[in-house]
């Protein structure tokens, strides 16, 4: 079976970090792109349509998009924007002071829940100012410890992003939220093989019930709902953009049989995997 639409991989970025100023037509408008890096897009002005993992977002002024490594995105060919784009890899993030590591886990390990942020006027002004300074630093002639300076600015931006939407400041550093963030970190690396709540609760040294309760308080979703969401997101990407059979996808996602995977997918999406794939192909055939 052929892929529904042409997909290209994001090209390599030197030192796994890139800052650019966007103005006018957006690149990669013809194809779907699989991200090899995390991306922050701060929009001052814009129009058009951005599709991420099958979800479409109208591009407007005063918005911030967060795209995680592995997600697949596509800009409508008429899309335009003015603003900043920051791309960074996990190896670059390791250079960021450890005190900001939890912000990345919350923002990007559950990317679908945080795909778009809507800062107020003062917040956007602050982000644009930070991005401008970061860009100037990035374009400065290389010098000793420049990477450390860039990482420090990225830390500031990530902390500010986390404070826009996720939780109140007094909750952000609570014990429950620290566990929740660790859960998301574990899930992002192991969801393809570990599907049960107790798999993660044991690694966190707490009961499954407590993990589900604190997830509910921190995200309004149970631990099982969050786990299933990660699996379904990857399953949809594989169905839409790969030629793997349903049986092969079931194997990649650690289901015992294709029937088990199909039952799980249909229970969570109300449609069978084959029907989902065919519907997607039909949609893009008409375009």
State the CATH number of the domain containing residue 233: 1.10.10.60
Question: Domain check: are 123 and 242 in the same one?
Answer: no
Residue 172's pLDDT band (boundaries 50, 70, 90)?
low
Cβ–Cβ contacts within 10 Å for residue 269, how many? 14
Please indicate, yes or no, if residue 184 is contained in any of the structural domains. Answer: yes
Q: Residues with Cβ < 8 Å from 122, sequence gap 6 or more?
A: none
Please check the confidence at residue 104 and state whether its pLDDT lies above 50.
yes
**Any domain includes 2:** no
pLDDT at 168: 42
Q: Indicate if 140 and 196 belong to the same structural domain.
A: no
Instruction: Say if residue 21 is in the same domain as residue 130.
Output: yes
pLDDT at 10 exceeding the cut of 70: yes
pLDDT at 101: 64
Confidence (pLDDT) at 209 = 94
Position 286 pLDDT exceeds 50: no
CA quadruple 234, 236, 241, 247: dihedral, nearest 10 = 90
Report the pLDDT averaged over residues 2-26. 78
The range of the structural domain enclosing residue 213 comes to 175-286
- Low-confidence winner among 56-60, 98-102, 154-158, 182-186 (lowest mean pLDDT): 98-102
> What does DSSP assign to residue 60?
-
Residues in the chain: 287
Q: Write down the pLDDT at residue 192.
A: 93
Q: Is 143 contained in some domain? A: yes
pLDDT of residue 1: 37
Give a yes or no: residue 27 inside a domain: yes
pLDDT of residue 165: 61
Mean pLDDT (whole number) for 106-121: 81
Q: What are the tens digits of pLDDT across the range 118-152?
A: 888 888 999 999 999 999 999 999 898 899 999 99
Mark whether 61 and 120 lie in a shared domain. Answer: yes
Stretch 90-105: mean pLDDT: 74
**How many Å apart are CA 114 and CA 165, to the nearest integer?**
8
Q: Looking at residues 200-226, what average pLDDT do you find?
A: 92
Within 13 Å, how many C-alpha atoms sit on residue 152's CB side? 7
- Co-location of 51 and 32 in the same domain: yes
Residues 187 and 144 in one domain: no
For the chain, the average pLDDT equals 85
| Least confident residue range of 60-69, 94-103, 126-135, 139-148 | 94-103
Q: Which of 166, 186, 203 finishes a domain? A: 166
In the predicted model, what is the mean pLDDT of residues 258-264? 96
Q: Is 206 exposed, middle or buried (0-12, 13-18, 19+ CB in 10 A)?
A: middle
Q: Where are the extended beta strands (E) located within 54-196?
A: 55-58, 63-67, 72-75, 80-88, 116-117
Question: Would residue 1 count as lying in a domain?
Answer: no
Question: Are residues 161 and 182 both part of a single domain?
Answer: no
Quick one: pLDDT at residue 250?
Answer: 96
Is the same domain home to 75 and 198?
Answer: no
Contact yes or no for 167/177 (Cβ under 8 A): yes
Does residue 38 share a domain with residue 72? yes
132/229 same-domain check: no
Give the number of domains in the chain.
Answer: 2
Give the span between the Cα atoms of 234 and 111, in whole angstroms. Answer: 12
Question: How sure is the predictor about 5, in pLDDT bands with cuts at 50, 70 and 90?
Answer: low
Q: Which tops the pLDDT comparison, 150 or 241?
A: 150
161: left (phi over 0), alpha (psi -120 to 50) or beta: alpha
Same domain, 241 and 135: no
CATH of the domain at 76: 2.60.120.280
Same domain? 189 vs 99: no
* Closest CA relative to residue 22, chosen from 67, 92, 79: 79
Among 142, 166, 190, residue at a domain's last position: 166
Cβ-contact 89, 13 below 8 angstroms: yes
* Domain final position from 124, 143, 166: 166
- DSSP-derived secondary structure for 138-187: HHSPP-TTHHHHHHHHHHHHHHHHHHHHT--HHHHTSHHHHHHHHHHHHH
Tokens linked to 39: 């991306």
| pTM (predicted TM-score) | 0.72
Residue 279 included in any domain: yes
The mean pLDDT of 156-167, rounded to a whole number, is 78
Alpha carbons 283 and 126: distance in angstroms, whole number:
40
- The HSE-up count of residue 264 (CA atoms within 13 Å, CB side) is 24
Q: What is the mean pLDDT of residues 148-165?
A: 87
Q: Is the pLDDT of residue 241 over 60?
A: yes
pLDDT recorded at residue 170: 45
């Amino acid at each position: 079976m052929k892929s529904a639409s042409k997909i290209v991989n994001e090209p390599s970025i030197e030192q796994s970090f890139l800052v650019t100023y966007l103005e006018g037509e957006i690149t990669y408008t013809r194809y779907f792109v699989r991200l090899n890096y995390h991306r922050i897009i701060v929009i001052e002005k814009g129009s058009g349509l951005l599709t991420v993992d099958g979800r479409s977002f109208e591009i407007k002024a005063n918005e911030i998009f967060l795209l995680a490594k592995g997600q697949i995105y596509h800009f409508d060919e008429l899309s335009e924007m003015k603003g900043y784009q920051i791309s960074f890899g996990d190896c670059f993030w390791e250079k960021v002071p450890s005190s900001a590591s939890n912000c990345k886990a919350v923002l990007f390990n559950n990317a679908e829940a945080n795909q778009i942020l809507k800062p107020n006027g003062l917040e956007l002004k602050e982000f644009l100012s930070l991005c401008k300074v970061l860009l100037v630093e990035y374009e400065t002639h290389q010098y000793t410890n420049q990477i450390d300076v860039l990482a420090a600015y990225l830390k500031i931006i990530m902390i500010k992003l986390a404070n826009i939407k996720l939780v109140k400041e007094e909750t952000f550093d609570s014990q429950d939220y620290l566990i929740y963030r660790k859960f998301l970190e574990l899930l992002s690396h192991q969801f393809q093989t570990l599907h049960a709540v107790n798999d993660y609760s044991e690694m966190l040294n707490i009961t499954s019930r407590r993990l589900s309760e604190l997830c509910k308080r921190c995200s309004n979703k149970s631990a099982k709902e969050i786990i299933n969401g990660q699996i379904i997101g990857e399953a949809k990407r594989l169905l839409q953009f790969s030629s793997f059979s349903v049986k092969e996808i079931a194997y990649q996602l650690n289901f015992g049989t294709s029937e088990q995977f199909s039952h799980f997918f249909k229970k969570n999406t109300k449609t069978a995997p084959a029907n989902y794939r065919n519907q997607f192909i039909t949609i893009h055939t008409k375009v």
